[in-house]
Structure 1
Amino acid sequence: MSGVEKSGFISKVIGPKKRWRAYKARVKELPENSRTAVEAIERYLMHFVPTDEDSNAAMFEDLADLFEQAVADGTPIREVVGEDPVEFVDEFARNYSEGGYVPARARKQLTDDIERAAGAETGRDDQTV
């Protein structure tokens, strides 16, 4: 894929570059465990890419809002995403898109990543999922 094609694809997937960069800067400021959780959710959400660039950008901005507020309130990751991170993200994505096909591997990766992030919060491996 050429640089121009890749740039067009990324722009379609993530919306305007300026909004994407602002979102990524916000995520970078989160504590490590929250950042890990957001990045795992972000990877999973790429399967639900809305065709409307504004909806897509809003989805990621809302994800950052959610975790920034959780950090500010001292809300643990498990209270944000619940016991089933796949169910949480699927429901979150439905607010922005009809959704897409999500392979089982992506579901397992999301669950594993959230387990690690939630375990880092408590200083132990989280075995609740």
Structure 2
Amino acid sequence: MTTGSNKPKSRYLQYLEIVTGSLDEKKRWRQYKARVKQLPDDYRTAVEALERYLMHFGPADGAGAMAMFEDLADLFEQSVADGTPIRDVFGEDPVEFVEAFVANYPIGQYRARERNRFTSAIARAAGENTATEERTDR
């Protein structure tokens, strides 16, 4: 393990990361939250609502989730700069928007794996040939 300056991390930092997770990911999270805090109130409220939703249904791994949250901050910062109304960002169905947004981040999506597993199991139960389809239930 190395720090940003290419120096080896101390044994203490190595153990700390084992217990708490990557310190770099925590730094990225704090930077993301600072960016969100700078948004106008209505945009910040929308981002925080979307963030809560994504905590439950978004990518589960740290790197994938951080890329998604950073892209979310980019999207809303650009929307503020362009004067795009919140409803124009989300459209009429916010759930449809978030599902399309999350689909761009497949890493750690247990739901996508489980959907594929479920669909394959039903196809097999129905006697359909699934040999040519990708098997995700192993």
TM above 0.5, yes or no, is yes
Question: Runs of 4+ in structure 1 displaced over 6 angstroms?
Answer: none
Question: How far apart are 1:99 and its partner, in Å?
Answer: 5.6
Partner of 1:34: 43
Q: How many aligned positions are there?
A: 92
Pairwise CA RMSD: 2.3
Gapped regions of structure 1 (runs ≥ 5): 102-129
Aligned position for 2:101 = 92
**Partner-residue secondary structure (3-state), 1:30:** coil
Q: Report the equivalent of 1:107.
A: none
Determine whether 1:48 maps to 2:83: no
Select 2:25's aligned residue among 16, 23, 29: 16
Q: Which amino acid aligns with 1:47?
A: H
User: Using a 3 Å threshold, how does the CA distance of structure 1 residues 51 and 45 change in structure 2: closer, same or farther?
Assistant: closer
Larger Rg: 2
Which runs of 5 or more structure 2 residues have no equivalent in the other structure?
A: 1-15, 113-138
Give 1 or 2: higher helix fraction: 1
Query: Normalising by structure 2, what TM-score?
Result: 0.60
> What's the offset of the Cα at 1:94?
1.2
User: Is 2:75 the counterpart of 1:66?
Assistant: yes
Tell which has more relative contact order, 1 or 2 (C-alpha 8 A, sep 6+).
1
- Helix, strand or coil: the match of 2:47? helix
TM-score normalised per structure 1: 0.64
Identity of aligned residues (%): 65
Alignment check: 8 A CA contact 1:93 1:99 kept: no
